[in-house]
Amino acid sequence: MIRSRESKSAPVGVVGKVLRILEALDASPAGLQLREIAQQTRVNKSTAYRFVAHLQSEGYLLRDEAGAYVVAPKLARLGAGIAYHATLRKVSRPMALALSNDTKETVNLGVLDGHEVLYLDVIESPHSFRMASQPGMHRPVNCTALGKALLAFLPAEQREEILPLLTFERATPRTISNLARLRKELALAVQQGYAIDDQETDMGARCVAAPILDESGNVAAAISVSGPITRIGRDRIHAYAQAVRKAARAISAQLGHSR
């Protein structure tokens, strides 16, 4: 009888320790080192390592460049959208910074929010003349490179739910103003692997974006480079597209996506 009670209670003890670890990580968006996890949860360090290593192998935790454990998108999606967005920003930041350093242009990270783009992160160009966006702002999907990249790589059913909601308000004379033209633009984005905003949101500005995919191959976000047409000329679009796609692939890999 004693042996039976112990065998039944042991798994509960394991679950309790795992939950304490997850709660500690949830309260520390910047991540925790293994020793900090052990200290905060009072779980033996070797035991804590077994738990976090298993959670990492299953895609529920990630380790950042400093070796700290953070909640992965797979687990964050089980909670509030805000937590998922925070995780996306943290996971994407190193690659977004590298892209900013390589291009010297503004780098944007965005997700779909209804039928608009929500900007999660913006790294501004060091140039005095640069494109201005802010985290938390919303923009239409039909005239932004981020929006096109997000729409183009959605499952067809989900995309078809969003398209009828678009109002196609003109931001500039070059803004896509009808559904037929947008469909052609989305098909081209899928073919090329990236989308372009060619003075459709702001005259004199050009933007190139690529989709970020999660462990299931679904589009989770998009990343873009934006700048004035004097620096992002038509002859440079392909080079910028290659740089953006490279960053998107690196972030996708961090999210568990593998080709």
- How many distinct structural domains can be found in the chain? 2
Q: What is the pLDDT of residues 104-134, one digit of tens each?
A: 999 999 999 888 999 999 999 888 877 777 8
Which of 71, 100, 120 finishes a domain? 71
**To 10 degrees, the CA torsion angle through 203, 149, 80, 35?**
-100
Residue 57 CA to residue 52 CA, distance in Å, equals 8
pTM of the model: 0.71
**Are 59 and 146 contained in the same domain?**
no
Which residue range(s) make up the domain with 35? 2-71
Give, in degrees to the nearest 5, the angle at Cα 134 between 217 and 203. 95
- Are both 174 and 225 inside the same structural domain? yes
What are the distances in angstroms from CA 206 to CA 149, 195, 203, 233? 14, 11, 8, 8
**pLDDT tens by residue, 41-82:** 999 999 999 999 999 988 889 888 888 999 887 777 665 556
| Mean pLDDT of the region 28-42 | 91
Q: How far apart are CA 83 and CA 55, in angstroms?
A: 18
The per-residue pLDDT for 28 is 86
Task: Kindly report the backbone phi and psi dihedral angles of residue 34, in degrees, each rounded to the nearest multiple of 5, phi listed first.
Answer: -55, -45
Report residue 196 CA to chain centroid gap: 18
Q: Last residue of a domain, which of 71, 97, 121?
A: 71
pLDDT of the residue at 81? 59
Q: Would you say residue 76 lies in a domain? A: no
User: Which of 95, 94, 102 has its CA nearest to residue 126?
Assistant: 102
Q: Is the pLDDT of residue 95 over 90?
A: yes
Instruction: Output the six-digit token pair for 252.
Output: 């996708």
Tens digits of residue pLDDT in 153-180 = 999 989 998 999 898 989 999 999 999 9
Q: Are residues 106 and 205 in the same domain?
A: yes
**Domain C-terminal end among 71, 100, 129:** 71
